[in-house]
C-alpha cells in the first residue's frame, strides 16, 4: 500500500512543462535551418519532383487497372465456367 502511494506521488511530480523545457535545453535548437539554393537549382528540383509524381501516379493507375482486370476475370471464371 505504501509503495502505491509513493509511486503516485512520483507520477504527480512530472509535468508537461518541465518535460518540454528539458527537451528544449538538450536540443539547443528550436528553429529549422535550410540550405540556400539558387532559383535555377530550385526549379530543377521542382521539375524532378513533378516528373517523379507523374511516374508514380501512372504506375499506380496501371496497377489498379491490372488488379481490376484480374478481379473481373476471376469473377467471370467463377460464374460462367
Of 80 and 17, the structure prediction assigns the larger pLDDT to 80
Tell me the domain boundaries of the chain. Answer: 2-25+42-80
Cβ proximity of 30 and 24 under 8 Å: yes
Distance CA 14, CA 20 (A): 11
Distance CA 66, CA 74 (A): 12
Quick: pLDDT tens for 9-57: 777 655 555 666 666 655 555 566 778 999 999 999 999 999 999 999 9
Task: Specify the pLDDT at position 24.
Answer: 62
Task: Specify the pLDDT at position 8.
Answer: 75
Among 4-8, 47-51, 58-62, which stretch is predicted with the lowest mean pLDDT? 4-8
Residue 6 grid cell: 509513493
Amino acid at each position: 500500500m505504501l509503495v502505491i502511494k509513493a509511486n503516485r506521488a512520483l507520477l504527480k511530480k512530472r509535468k508537461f512543462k518541465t518535460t518540454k523545457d528539458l527537451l528544449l535545453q538538450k536540443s539547443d535548437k528550436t528553429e529549422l535551418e535550410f540550405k540556400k539554393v539558387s532559383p535555377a537549382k530550385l526549379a530543377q528540383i521542382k521539375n524532378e519532383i513533378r516528373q517523379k509524381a507523374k511516374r508514380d501516379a501512372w504506375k499506380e493507375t496501371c496497377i489498379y487497372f491490372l488488379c481490376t482486370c484480374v478481379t473481373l476475370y476471376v469473377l467471370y471464371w467463377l460464374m460462367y465456367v
